[in-house]
Every structure is written in C-alpha cells, then in structure tokens.
Chains A and B, each alone.
Chain A
Amino acid sequence: MPFIPHTAAETAAMLEAIGARSVDELFDEIPARLRSGPLAGVPEALTEHEIGRLMRERAAADGEFLTFVGAGAYEHHIPAAVWEIAGRGEFYTAYTPYQAEASQGTLQLLYEFQTMIAGLVGLDCANASLYDGASALAEAVLMAVRLHGRSRRVLIPETVHPLYRKVVQTIVSAQSITIDLVPMNAAGTTDAGGLARGLEGAAGLVIPQPNFLGCLEDVHAMTASARRAGALAIGLVNPVACALLAPPGEWGPGCDIAVGEGQPLGAPLSSGGPYFGFMACRREHVRQMPGRIVGRTVDVAGQEAYTLTLQAREQHIRRSRATSNICTNQGLLVTAATVHMALLGPEGLRRVAAASHANTAALRARLEAIPGVRAAFPDTPFFHEVVLRLPVPVPEVLRALEAQGILGGCALGEFYPALTDSLLVCATETKTETDIAHYAHHLERIVSKRRLDPPCAYKDDNPRSP
C-alpha cells in the first residue's frame, strides 16, 4: 500500500486492540448517507517508475529556453551546494520550529537569515519570510496603515510591478484601505509632482528600486518626501541589487520598511514559485511586523539558544487581532537563500549584481544598434532590465524568437497601454556574449524581414503569462 506500512496481521491486531471489527467502523460517527463512494476523479495508482517517466516526458516537452525575461523572476546561477543542503531531510521535513529545543538548527539558520536580510537592506530587523514579493508588499501596506494610525491611504507608483499592484488590491481591499497610483513620467520613473500632490495625508509610500521597468528611481528624494509628509516609506527592492545599490535603510532619511521578492537568492524559476517574500523594518516598528521572528536568547543553563519570539503578534495567540493571518511561510526557500548568501558573500553578491547590470548594458547596446529598435528611457539609469521600443508588433517578435529557442522578454502592452510597442528585457550574469549576440542576430533578422514583408493584419492570438 503506498506509504502505509501496515501488514494485514498488524491491521487485524490493531483493530482488535481498538475493539472494532473493521476499519470502516472507525467512521461510524459520520452520518451514513454522507459517506462517499469511490473517487472516480482520481486515476489508478502509478509506480514510482511510471510517474517518474511521465514527469520527465512532460518536463522535457516544456523545453529549455535561452531566457531574457525578468519582470519579477530572475535566472541566476544557484551554487550546487544550495539545494544539496536545503534538500537534507532534517531541513526539508521539519515543521515550523515550535519546539525550540528540537529545532535549534532551523532556528539558528533563521536568525542568520534575518541578520543577512537586515544587513542587505540596511535596517535593524527582518522576519523569517512571507509568501512572495507581491504578498509581502501587501503586508507592508497593512503594516504601514497600522503604524500610521490615522490614514488608510497608501501611494503606489505606476512603476511598481503591475501584478504586485493587483495582489495588493486583492489583499488590502476588504479593510477599506485606498491605494492611490502615482503616475509615471517620461523618464520611466515616478513623477515628482504627482508624488507631492498625493503624499498629503497618506499613511505610506511604496518606493521601488529598481522599478518594474528596470529604471532607478530618485529614492533619496522620494524617501525624504514621505518622511516630510509623515508617511511611512516602504522600500520595494531586489535583494541582489541591494549588494550594489544604496539599500533602503540609507535612502534619504531612511526607509521604515523594506520588502521584496527573495527568488533571486537561490530559488529556481519554477514557473513562479515557491519563492519567498522578505520583510525588514526599523526596531521601533517590529511589534507591527507580520510573520515569524526568531530571537537569540539562552537556555536555563545559560548556553546560547534560539526561539520564535514576539509571538503575541501572531494568529495562534492574538487570533482576530493578529498582525496577519500568516502561519506557514516559505521556510525551505529561506534555508536555500541563507546557504546561497553565505556561499556568495558580499563580494559574490555584488559581482552577480554588477555582472547582471553589465550584461544588460551590453544587450541594450547590441539591440539598439538594430534599425528601428530604441531604448524607451535612454537617459535613465537602470539596474538589470531595460525597455526597448520595437518597430514591429511585440507579440509577433516574441513568437518568432520562441521558435529559435529564445524567450525574448516581457511584452508591456498589457500593463502599460503607452508601451504597447515595448519589450522589457533582462540579461543576468548567466548570459554570455555569445547568448547576447545570438539574441541580437535573431531580433535583427525578425525585425528586418517583417519590415520588408508586412502582413495585412495583426492579431494577437498568443495569450501569455499566468
């Protein structure tokens, strides 16, 4: 029997000990008319070999592509040791560390993780993870509203990831919180005038760095404006970029809260998850932070020890008055991220960031040389993504590139009508000069062919993205 060790003799002996004639009798408190028949919708069992083969066939059918898509999920090299360690049964199959004495491994690791994240974003303390970057942003918005106390309005720039904005809307809308959008300027960054107008009386401002379009925002000025207006500053950052760019704690007068998507720290792309959200804040805000937090303390013999702490914020103690309903979070991904950060260290992470920036600069230069292709925000500094305007319809280009085994970028039309002719491209440190030349070669071919040979009508019949 799959994953059930009982022999017939053991089952019989156990039933006898219980005083039941059959296993079925154990369900006699369930009204008989409710009992279900066989599960017609579940197929017969497969062997491990059979399912292994099916999964290999399906995985192979999905293929492997040369990926220049970023848009919130980034391909980075993951050192071999990362998942060797994270996959160890002692980490992989443990529960949330409620019994501190039997969970010192996970707890110390989480304390180290919190230290690494706090250091990376330049704030005092971090939690042990939230679900993903988007839901972490929603939690930060709720936290800012709690901390502010008087306003229920939060500003989010149009340059924040459009899917994050949707998630925030889903999660905060039932609590009568208003999200006001700050418009984008012609440089692909947040409009200072719009920001100034919106900030009055707001509880918080989200500040993305880099923003969704890869552009670098004037984070010092934005943080300072938020502080002047009495709004909490929420930095939304890429953790790899933090090794190269000024961290939220050092923006202007300093952010209050920093959140982001942890995926670039050791999580495979995996069609969108599991990843993890991280959150850090100033010490004075920690009692409003959601999620698990690990503290260092001592045991009764005075030895160093670790435990979950400040649990009075959480649902199992505070119930309907908790800071959040979150319980299970993304522990295993945090384990991987901790090993990942330890292996790379400050120099390694900075190199990953700088190499991704350099590769994206090289990609942009190569692609801009193609007639008709130009950068949408040519004078705005960027991190590791840029927006390119194309002379031919974007979906068509992407399809043609896909046929060459290239995922060419993220089409922006769906998110920004003014950028319907634009593509968001990314080249992380994983891309070589040859990869970039390969992409440029095919894009040039597709663009010039299409210019010579235009179809009579254009129709987007290739829906993308989840």
Chain B
Amino acid sequence: MLIFERGAPGRVNAPQMPRPPAPPGDIPPALLRRAPPALPEVSELQVVRHYTRLSQRNFAIDTHFYPLGSCTMKYNPRAAHVAALLPGFANRHPLAPESTGQGLLACLFELQEMLKDVTGMRAVSLTPMAGAQGEFAGVAMIRAYHVARNDLERDEILIPKAAHGTNPATAAMCGYRVREIDVRADGDIDLAALDAAIGPKTAGLMLTNPSTLGVFDRHIEDIAQRVHAAGGLLYYDGANLNAILGQVKPGDMGFDVVHLNLHKTFATPHGGGGPGAGPVGVGERLLPFLPVPMVGESGGRYYWITEKTRPQSIGRLSAFAGNVGVLLRAYVYARLVGREGMARIAQYAALNANYLLGRLSRLGFEPAYPGRRAAHEFLLTLKGLKEDTGVTALDVAKRLLDKGYHAPTIYFPLMVPECLLIEPTETESRDEIDGFVAAMAEVLAEAKTTPELLKSAPHTLPVCRVDEVRAARELDLAWRAHPTKA
C-alpha cells in the first residue's frame, strides 16, 4: 500500500509545522498555487510505521552479506554518522564565514592530506559528489591541460572494454570520442591493441587497476609509458582502491589523475543510491586545473581556495563544497582505521576474496581468469552451467536472495558471459564467507537437479521475480500523476 492511500483529507501533524501564518496578501494571485499539491495527509505514527515497514523490505549491509562486486559493501561505522550530525557541523550554513568553520575545515584539510598520501598524488580536491563526478572532473582536467598547451587535435579517450559504464559516459560528457581497447584472455590489457589505438589523437587512457575483472594489470608501467610517450595522460578510476590501499599507489603506477569513491573505500553509507563523494587527486601536470573549492592552510588557519586564486581551475561542480557530510564521515573512518589499519584493509579484502575464490572454484564454479590472483574481488562465469542446465547468472542471483545473501554483481563487465563479480570486503568474517559458500553449493546442486527452482526464484522475498519488461513498456512512474495541459 502506498503512503498516499493511507491518508485522509484534513489530517495534519500540527506539532511538526508552524502555526497558521497570515495569508501572503502581497503576492499577486496569478503567481499563487491554485490547488494544494497531492501530498499524503497522514499522521506521524502512520508515517513512521509505513516507512519502517518499507525498510524491512530491503537487504542492506546491516542485515545481509552483500558481496556486490565493484561496490565495496563494507560495514559503515556508526561513529562516523554520529559525528557528521553534530549540531556544529549539521547546522552550519555553506556561506557562513571561514571564521565560523575552522573545525570543519581542519577535518577537510586533513582528509585532503591523507588522500594525497594513499593515492600518491600532489593535491586533492574533495568537491566531486560521486565517482562519476570525480571522473568528470578528471577528464575535464585532462582536456584543460591539452587546451592550455594548445594541443587541440586530441579528441579521443581510450577505455578498456571491461571499464565501468561511467568511464565512457564521462568521456562523452567531456566532448571526447571513446575508443575501446580489448582485454586479453588473461585479463590484462592487450598491448598490441593499445599500440594500434594510441596516437596523436589520444587525450588519455582511463583505467581501473585492479580492473573490474578483479585482476591487477601486470603491465601497468608499460601502459603508462606508452600513453605518456604518445602525449596522453593516465586516468585512474579509484572505485577499486580498496584492493590496493597502502600496497601500491596510483601515483607510483604512473597515473596523472585519480578519483576515489569514499562511499566504497572509506566506508561511507550507500544510502540506497547515495550520497557519495568522489574526490580527485592529481600529479604535477594537472595541479592548476583542480576543481574548486579546496581547503588551504596557512599558519594554523584554514581557508577556502577558490577560482580567485585558481584562474585555470575547471571550475565548480556543485553550488557549494560538495557532499561535506560524506567527507566528514570518511574523515572519521580514516582516523579510526589509522596508518596500519589502512594497509590492512587491502590485505584482508584480498585475503577474503582469494579465500572465497578458492572455495568456490573447488565447488566447481568456473573463474573467468583462472590462475590469476583475485584482487579484492573476482569474476566467475556461469557459461558452462548455462549450457548444461539452462540456468543463468540472473537465476543464480535470484536464488541466492532466497538463501539470505545479497546477489553479487551480474552481467558486468558485459564482455564476460554470464558473469558474477564477487566482492566480500574485509569486514566480513570467515564464518560469514563460509555460509555464503554453503549457499552457493546448494544453488549449484539445485541448478543441476531442479533448475525450475532457480528459474522462478526468488520464492521467499516480499515479491516474486519482478516483471521489468512490463515496467518499461507500460510506464507507471507516479501514482495518479498530476495531469498536465498538453
């Protein structure tokens, strides 16, 4: 039942709203609204009960193991949430003067410094509001760099086939044509294909390493050298930084620019689809182009760095300073984890991933890149299983939900047929992982004996398999949508 269907005309929550104000007699009637908006008219208890019940129809990290590859669904510490909502932070207006924000700015400055270190970059801007906006900032800086050098022929960005969809979409938003590069059977980039594509039109290469195939590209220095030799720059999609935190730095691999997903690596919540934060870090060449604002420090005072002192900046990406509350959460997380803890994250993410890969392989699941180490995640292909039983990756995913496990990422990367991308993260215990292995074993057995059980899964959730085709064909996007005059 929808919240709208629970309402009754005239029901109000008086304590939550102001007392009835004087009518706005000075506003011309033509500019006033004629009929009230169709919002629900429900009591506070009805609201609380409705949304509490809805929440119970979700899987979340707090309720389920959530091995969603490329998404780093690790525990989100509550101390970070509590700190970000302290009144001094939560009630501060974005245009309040710097003098009233020294505590906040200290946190942001220190976060910039920590991110510089873990990425091996010269400077960091925290302002992008998610990974994709970080990518936008990065590619826009690459563009600004070439333009500043009057090197105007470069109109292509190279992107491996396995890349996340935001990479090509970002390149296009920055006005570039995308050239896709093949990946070899062992998961590394095809250097011959790279050589064939690279040239005077190359503005840069966008790369995730470890890639979204879950393996570390062993030729990264070679790749960097080739891109630089052709006059291009190297972009690091840091959505997978959890895999290498404290082990190897993108700057040392030769990257010129990186974005991080703090809502992955730095344990800020995903909130059912955000908010995120996608800081960008750059090396020497891109320093002048960083997006503003950033935080500077001088003599123990913190201040905003704006376009006034950064005339070559690509500019602003949000009205104010980005998702500050997310940055505060990431800051608290980083301080709780500390220097050694930071390096342990990648170690235990890798331990869990390799342990799980080993156990699933022994059960008979087929790794997409056998013989390779898993990074913090790994890819299985169910191509063989589908040929034998007709069961697809989608069916396996849905059946796992019945067993109380959130499904891994499916059908991404698109180039590997019937794939499952599995990322356990470092915050899961061995017992939890063993439980998942047992569930996968059951699903595999069922696929062979009772495939219909998988094809019609899930069976135990609030709804059975959802008809997505109908959703797209018979669009219903709003309850009794407000009619418009055509």
Q: Note all chain B residues with C-beta closer than 8 A to A26.
A: 347, 350-351, 354, 373
CA distance A292 to B271 in the complex (A): 14
Q: Does B438 contact A (CB under 8 A)?
A: no
Q: Does B471 contact A (CB under 8 A)?
A: yes
The answer to whether A58 and B106 have CB atoms under 8 Å apart is yes
Q: Does A211 contact B (CB under 8 A)?
A: no
The answer to whether residues A58 and B104 also contact, given A38-B339, A305-B466 and a CB cut-off of 8 A, is yes
The answer to whether B89 and A85 have CB atoms under 8 Å apart is no
Segment 172-212 of B: residues with Cβ below 8 Å from A: 172-175, 178
Q: Does B152 contact A (CB under 8 A)?
A: no
The answer to whether B173 and A175 have CB atoms under 8 Å apart is yes
Which of B39, B166, B271, B429 is the one whose CB lies under 8 Å from A92?
B271
Q: What's the nearest-Cβ distance from chain B to residue A13, in Å?
A: 7
CA distance A163 to B316 in the complex (A): 8
The answer to whether A102 and B18 have CB atoms under 8 Å apart is no
CA distance A250 to B32 in the complex (A): 10
CA distance A76 to B151 in the complex (A): 50
The answer to whether A85 and B55 have CB atoms under 8 Å apart is yes
The answer to whether A35 and B248 have CB atoms under 8 Å apart is yes
The answer to whether B315 and A60 have CB atoms under 8 Å apart is no
Q: Note all chain A residues with C-beta closer than 8 A to B458.
A: 101-102
Q: Note all chain A residues with C-beta closer than 8 A to B57.
A: 103-105, 108
The answer to whether B27 and A357 have CB atoms under 8 Å apart is yes
Segment 240-284 of A: residues with Cβ below 8 Å from B: 242-247, 249-250, 253-254, 261, 268-274, 276, 282-283
Cβ contacts B16-52/A at 8 Å (1 or 0 each): 1111111110111011111011111110100110111
The answer to whether A407 and B93 have CB atoms under 8 Å apart is yes
Cβ contacts A72-99/B at 8 Å (1 or 0 each): 1101010101011101111111111111
The answer to whether A79 and B51 have CB atoms under 8 Å apart is no
Q: Note all chain B residues with C-beta closer than 8 A to A19.
A: 358
CA distance A217 to B330 in the complex (A): 41
| Of B68-76, B383-391, B445-453, the one touching chain A | B68-76
The answer to whether B336 and A115 have CB atoms under 8 Å apart is no
| Of A178-186, A199-207, A333-341, A449-457, the one touching chain B | A333-341
Give the residue name and chain of the B residue nearest to A68 (CB). Answer: B93
Give the residue name and chain of the A residue nearest to B14 (CB). Answer: A348
Q: A interface, how many residues as a size bin?
A: 35 or more
Q: Does A410 contact B (CB under 8 A)?
A: yes
Q: What's the nearest-Cβ distance from chain B to residue A98, in Å?
A: 8
Q: Note all chain A residues with C-beta closer than 8 A to B321.
A: 271-273, 466
CA distance A350 to B350 in the complex (A): 53
The answer to whether residues A245 and B140 also contact, given A27-B247, A269-B94 and a CB cut-off of 8 A, is no
CA distance A463 to B464 in the complex (A): 57
Q: Note all chain B residues with C-beta closer than 8 A to A46.
A: 335-336, 338
Cβ contacts B95-130/A at 8 Å (1 or 0 each): 111111111101100000110111010000000011
CA distance A322 to B166 in the complex (A): 9
Q: Note all chain A residues with C-beta closer than 8 A to B467.
A: 297-300, 305
The answer to whether A132 and B175 have CB atoms under 8 Å apart is no
Q: Does B83 contact A (CB under 8 A)?
A: yes
Q: Does A187 contact B (CB under 8 A)?
A: no
CA distance A119 to B430 in the complex (A): 49
Q: Note all chain A residues with C-beta closer than 8 A to B407.
A: 99, 102
Q: What's the nearest-Cβ distance from chain A to residue B1, in Å?
A: 9
List the count of A-B residue pairs having beta carbons below 8 Å apart: 756
Q: Does A429 contact B (CB under 8 A)?
A: yes
The answer to whether residues A166 and B272 also contact, given A38-B343, A63-B88, A402-B97 and a CB cut-off of 8 A, is no
The answer to whether B94 and A73 have CB atoms under 8 Å apart is yes
Segment 160-193 of A: residues with Cβ below 8 Å from B: 161, 163-164, 166-167, 169-171, 174-176
Give the residue name and chain of the A residue nearest to B464 (CB). Answer: A299
Q: What's the nearest-Cβ distance from chain A to residue B222, in Å?
A: 10
Q: Does B441 contact A (CB under 8 A)?
A: no
Q: Does B274 contact A (CB under 8 A)?
A: yes
Q: Does A316 contact B (CB under 8 A)?
A: yes
Cβ contacts A335-363/B at 8 Å (1 or 0 each): 10011011111111111101101100100
Q: Note all chain A residues with C-beta closer than 8 A to B19.
A: 351, 355
Q: Note all chain A residues with C-beta closer than 8 A to B76.
A: 92-93
The answer to whether B347 and A273 have CB atoms under 8 Å apart is no
Give the residue name and chain of the A residue nearest to B475 (CB). Answer: A295
The answer to whether residues A346 and B41 also contact, given A11-B351, A31-B218, A135-B133 and a CB cut-off of 8 A, is yes
Segment 125-141 of B: residues with Cβ below 8 Å from A: 129-133, 135-136, 140
Q: Note all chain B residues with C-beta closer than 8 A to A43.
A: 335, 338-339
Cβ contacts B58-98/A at 8 Å (1 or 0 each): 11111110101001011111010111111111111111111
The answer to whether A62 and B32 have CB atoms under 8 Å apart is no
The answer to whether B351 and A6 have CB atoms under 8 Å apart is yes
Q: Note all chain A residues with C-beta closer than 8 A to B90.
A: 268-270
The answer to whether residues A346 and B37 also contact, given A88-B52, A101-B462, A309-B471 and a CB cut-off of 8 A, is yes
Which of B216, B252, B267 is the one whose CB lies under 8 Å from A3?
B267
Cβ contacts B211-226/A at 8 Å (1 or 0 each): 0000110101100000
The answer to whether A295 and B87 have CB atoms under 8 Å apart is no
Which of A71, A134, A250, A328 is the one whose CB lies under 8 Å from B318?
A134
Could you list 18 examples of A-B contacts with CB < 8 Å? A17-B359, A61-B103, A72-B95, A77-B16, A90-B60, A94-B61, A115-B478, A122-B482, A175-B175, A268-B85, A269-B92, A272-B324, A294-B477, A315-B165, A315-B168, A325-B173, A345-B42, A429-B21
In order of increasing CB-CB distance, the 3 nearest A-B pairs are A45-B338, A272-B320, A41-B117
Extra pairs beyond A135-B133, A268-B90 (18, CB < 8 Å): A2-B341, A10-B429, A42-B118, A43-B339, A45-B336, A87-B81, A102-B458, A163-B316, A216-B28, A245-B27, A271-B101, A283-B475, A299-B467, A319-B165, A341-B40, A351-B17, A465-B306, A466-B95
